[in-house]
Amino acid sequence: MSWERDNIRRLEGYTSGEQPDDTDTIKLNTNENPWPPSPAVDAVLQSMDGEALRRYPPPTADAFRDLAARYHGIQRDNLIATRGGDELLRLVITTFVEPGQPIAMTDPTYSLYPVLAQIHDCPVVKVPLESDWSLDPAFIDTVVASGARLTLLVNPHAPSGQLVDVAQLREIAGALEGLLLIDEAYVDFIDPAIEYDSLGLLGEFDNVIILRTLSKGYSLAGLRFGYGIGAVGLIRPMLEKTRDSYNLDLVSQRIAEAALTDVAHARETWKKVREERERLGRSLRGLGFDVSPSHSNFLLARTPGGQSGAESLYRALKDRGILVRYFNEPRLVDKLRISVGTPDENDRLIAALEVLV
Ligand SMILES: *Cc1c(COP(=O)(O)O)cnc(C)c1O
């Protein structure tokens, strides 16, 4: 017999992108930053020894919280550090949503959201995006009518790279009766000229939580470190009640602190990613791909061969040691999501595609 709860037995589980253990693969499938983290990170790794691990780590990562709060110009009380952005998502659901209450999201979206909702036994309300991946004009009405307790909005959007501006976020936050989580996993790659800054919403609304992560912008996906920003009334219950005691180990905390003391290094990588994003986009369009405008570190590209082309192209690239992401989902089956790599990696991808398409 199965001991699983009914909803867990019905659940499919989250499918991670492939994580090969060789270093030869050109890995453009899970949106890692292609440049290494700050040298300050290496310095921490080299400076630590086993004795440092004998004691428990700081329980709420206050040194990191102070650094991140200063970086954002907010108070430490408005910030919680978590084991990746993914832990924050789980905390928000288990702290603020009763099992059975609906959780709303766009379709498509980050494929972990529906899995986390189902683990908590919450119905999922999916609001389809328009064909250009912008929000449905009826998005707010649909979400309000559904009675959603929580709305999960990834911005810039994954997997398209589309950006919702702050005026629209303000409108949504003001109209929703539940909480709004703005998942800014890819925010660092937005062109600074756009002046996107959602943090001002915190002073205006007590129902907004912003998710950030070091996985993408700071080249630290292997570390597992993220954070949430919001009103004290939202942060405190997670910090004091629902978080795992010692959710962040000492090594992670020290490394995350080092990364945030050298944002200048990360910012250089964001600039290089934007430059390569433009260049890769141009090359893909030149080969007949239809590429959505992206504010992120990946491109969603419809393959010239249409529906029959995307999966076979994904496989042909894989045979040549190049991994990209293919989603077997209705609106994505004719597309590939390609993480922006280094100039050399992007050149090799384009060279392979020139032969294949
Ligand atoms: C990567 C990512 C996250 C957070 O990932 P962590 O590695 O757990 O910090 C959250 N949302 C989206 C859409 C992501 O792509």
List the single range of 1-5, 27-31, 58-62, 220-224 with lowest mean pLDDT. Answer: 1-5
CA of 200 to the centre of ligand 1 (A): 22
Atom of ligand 1 nearest to the CA of 216: 1
Model confidence at 168: pLDDT above 90: yes
Atom of ligand 1 nearest to the CA of 109: 13
List residues near ligand 1 (CB under 6 A): 31, 84-86, 110, 154, 158, 183, 185, 213, 215-216, 221, 226
What is the 92 CA–ligand 1 centroid distance (Å)?
14
Which residue is closest in CA terms to ligand 1's atom 5? 85
Greater confidence (306 vs 259) lies with 259
Pick the atom of ligand 1 nearest to 83's CA. Answer: 8
Give pLDDT, residue 341: 98
pLDDT of residue 65: 98
Residue nearest to atom 14 of ligand 1 (CA): 185
Cβ atoms of 151 and 211 within 8 Å: the answer is: no
Query: pLDDT tens digits for 105-134?
Result: 999 999 999 999 999 999 999 999 999 999
Q: Whose CA is nearest to atom 15 of ligand 1?
A: 185
User: 260 CA to middle of ligand 1, Å?
Assistant: 18
Kindly state the percentage of the chain with pLDDT values over 70: 99
What is the pLDDT at residue 17? 86
DSSP symbols for 160-221: T-----HHHHHHHHHH-SSEEEEE-TTGGGS-GGG----TTHHHH-SSEEEEEESTTTTS-T
User: Could you tell me which residue, 264 or 2, shows the higher pLDDT?
Assistant: 264
Query: Which value, to the nearest 10 degrees, does the dihedral of the CA atoms of residues 109, 111, 112, 117 take?
Result: 70
